[in-house]
C-alpha cells in the first residue's frame, strides 16, 4: 500500500509521526509525507526520511498514494485530484454534515471516518475521539490558569492565606475527567456534573465532588454518549448549575450530543451571577457551545467573566496529540490492511461501522 500523509492546513498536528512511519514501512507499505508536514509538531523531514518515508510535495502525495491519512478532511478540490479507487481516512463527521458523502462518492473513492469507530472494548486502542478529548481536557485547565487572576492552589504565606480556586466541570466524559485530574493536581477544589450516573464513581475516584440532578433519561444504550434530556430535567439542571457556577472561579464545559447542537448549560443569567475574574472554557463551542455567550474560537469578556470558546484545544499540544492520533490510526490500519494490501472486511464490526463510502457507494446510514 502507498500511504500518503499530507500536511494539516487547519492546525499544527500531523496524522502519522515518524515512529509509526517506521512500523508502516516494516509492514510492507510505502509512505509519502508532504514536506514540513510534521514541523509544527516538532518532527522534521529528516526524522521522516530516517524512518523510511519519502518526502514529496502535496500534489505528489495525492498522485502517489492509494491511501491518504489525515486529521481534517481534504477539501473538495483536493478530493477531486485523487484517482478513482483511492481510500481516504480522516475525521469526516458525517453525522454533523452528510454533504461530505456525495463529495467522496462522486469521485469513486473509499472513505473511513475515525469518528464512526464503535466504542467497544476491541476498538479502544483506535478511539481518536477519546485520545484527543483527553488532551483537550488537560489543556482547558491550563488555559483557564492563564486567564484566571487568582491562584489555583491554597497558599499560606507570611502575607496571609489564599484559598484554593473552585472549579466546576460540566460533562464527565474523557475530556471532563482529564480536566478534573489536572485541576486537582493544580490544587483546586473540584466539582463535576454529568447526566450519566455511571460517571459518578469515576468523578469521585479523582477526588472531585459529583453534582447530581435527579431524573436523568436512561443512557445505557447510548454507547457512552450523552442523550437528550426532558425539559423538566433541563430546568432542574440549569438551576443547580447556576447555583454552583455563581461560586466557581473556573467553569469548564465539555458536554456534546452526537449529531446535535451542544446542550445549553450556562445561560447568560448564570454568567451575570459569576464572580468578576472568573473564567469559562467551552470545549463544545464548534457545535453551539454549552455557554449561551460562547463564540467559537474567540475569547470574550462579559462583565468581568472571560469566556473562551475552543473545540480544538488538542491542537495546542500538537506533539503529544499527534503521537496519540498516530498510534490510534496505526491500530486501525491493522484492521483494514494486511501485509501492505487492502483488506476491507465488511464483516468486521470496526470496518463496517467506520466505512462511510465504499468504492463510490455511500454506506453511511445503510451499514
* Model pLDDT for residues 180-217, shown as the tens digit of each residue: 999 999 999 999 999 888 899 999 999 999 998 877 66
Q: By three-state DSSP, how is residue 271 classified? A: helix
Instruction: Give pLDDT, residue 216.
Output: 64
Residue 246's Cβ-count burial label (10 Å; 0-12, 13-18, 19+) is: middle
d(CA 308, CA 279): 8
Q: How far apart are CA 7 and CA 293, in angstroms?
A: 34
CA separation (Å) from 36 to 43, 163, 312, 319? 8, 47, 21, 14
Q: Give the model's pLDDT for residue 340.
A: 86
Q: From the candidates 57, 124, 230, 235, which is the catalytic residue?
A: 124
- CA nearest neighbour of 71 among 87, 91, 86: 91
What's this model's pTM, rounded to 2 decimal places?
A: 0.92
The answer to whether residues 198 and 226 touch, using CB atoms and an 8 Å cutoff, is no
Q: Is 285 a catalytic residue?
A: no
Domains of the chain with CATH codes: 2-126+320-362 (3.40.50.720), 148-311 (3.40.50.720)
The active-site residue, picked from 130, 246, 273, 319, is 130
Considering the candidates 15, 90, 127, 131, report the single residue annotated as catalytic.
Answer: 127
The cell for 242 is: 447556576
Q: Cell numbers 440532578 correspond to what residue?
A: 213
Q: What is the pLDDT of residues 103-157, one digit of tens each?
A: 999 999 999 999 999 989 999 999 999 999 999 999 999 999 999 999 999 999 8
- Radius of gyration, alpha carbons of the chain: 22
10 Å CB burial of residue 100 (0-12, 13-18, 19+) is buried
Q: Looking at residue 231, what is its pLDDT?
A: 79
Annotated active-site residue in 119, 150, 185, 238: 119
The stretches in the chain having pLDDT less than 70 are 216-228, 367
Distance from C-alpha of 355 to C-alpha of 31, rounded to nearest angstrom: 22
pLDDT at 214: 76
127 is annotated as an active-site residue: yes
Residues across the chain: 367
Catalytic residue among 225, 233, 238, 273: 225
| 335 Cβ neighbours under 8 A, 6+ residues apart | 126, 343, 345, 348, 350, 351
pLDDT at 365: 82
Q: Is 124 a catalytic residue?
A: yes
Residue 314, number of CB atoms within 10 A of its CB: 28
Gap between the Cα atoms of 148 and 249, Å rounded? 8
pLDDT at 259: 86
Instruction: Take residue 122 and report the three cell numbers written for it.
Output: 476491541
Amino acid at each position: 500500500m502507498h500511504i500518503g500523509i499530507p500536511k494539516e492546513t487547519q492546525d499544527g498536528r500531523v496524522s502519522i509521526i515518524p515512529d509509526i512511519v517506521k512500523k508502516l514501512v516494516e509492514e510492507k507499505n510505502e509512505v509519502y509525507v508532504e514536506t514540513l508536514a510534521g514541523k509544527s509538531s516538532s518532527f522534521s523531514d529528516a526524522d521522516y526520511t530516517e524512518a523510511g518515508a519519502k518526502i514529496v510535495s502535496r500534489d505528489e502525495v495525492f498522485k502517489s498514494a492509494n491511501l491518504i491519512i489525515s486529521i481534517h478532511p481534504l477539501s473538495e478540490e483536493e478530493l477531486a485530484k485523487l484517482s478513482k479507487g483511492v481510500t481516504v481516512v480522516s475525521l469526516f463527521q458525517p453525522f454533523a454534515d452528510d454533504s461530505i458523502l456525495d463529495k467522496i462518492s462522486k469521485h469513486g473513492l473509499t472513505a473511513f471516518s475515525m469518528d464512526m469507530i464503535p466504542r467497544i472494548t476491541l476498538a479502544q486502542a483506535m478511539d481518536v475521539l477519546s485520545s484527543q478529548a483527553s488532551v483537550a481536557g488537560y489543556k482547558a485547565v491550563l488555559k483557564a490558569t492563564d486567564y484566571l487572576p487568582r491562584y489555583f492552589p491554597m497558599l499560606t504565606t507570611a502575607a496571609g492565606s489564599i484559598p484554593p480556586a473552585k472549579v466546576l466541570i460540566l460533562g464527565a466524559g474523557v475530556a471532563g475527567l482529564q480536566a478534573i485530574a489536572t485541576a486537582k493536581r493544580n490544587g483546586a477544589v473540584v466539582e463535576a456534573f454529568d447526566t450519566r450516573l455511571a460517571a459518578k464513581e469515576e468523578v469521585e475516584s479523582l477526588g472531585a465532588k459529583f453534582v447530581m440532578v435527579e431524573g436523568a433519561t436512561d443512557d445505557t444504550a447510548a454507547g457512552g454518549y450523552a442523550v437528550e434530556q426532558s425539559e423538566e430535567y433541563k430546568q432542574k439542571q440549569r438551576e443547580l448549575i447556576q447555583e454552583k457556577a455563581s461560586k466557581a472561579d473556573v467553569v469548564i464545559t465539555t458536554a456534546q450530543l452526537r449529531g446535535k447542537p451542544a446542550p445549553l448549560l450556562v445561560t447568560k443569567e448564570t454568567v451575570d451571577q459569576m464572580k468578576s475574574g472568573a473564567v469559562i472554557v467551552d470545549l463544545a463551542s464548534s457545535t453551539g457551545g454549552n455557554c449561551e455567550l460562547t463564540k467559537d474560537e474567540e475569547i470574550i469578556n462579559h462583565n468581568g467573566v472571560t469566556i473562551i470558546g475552543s473545540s480544538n484545544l488538542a491542537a495546542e499540544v500538537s506533539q503529544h496529540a499527534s503521537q496519540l492520533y498516530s498510534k490510534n490510526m496505526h491500530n486501525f490500519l491493522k484492521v483494514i490492511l494486511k501485509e501492505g494490501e487492502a483488506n476491507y472486511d465488511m464483516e468486521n464490526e470496526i470496518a463496517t461501522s467506520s466505512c462511510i463510502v465504499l468504492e463510490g457507494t455511500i454506506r453511511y446510514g445503510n451499514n
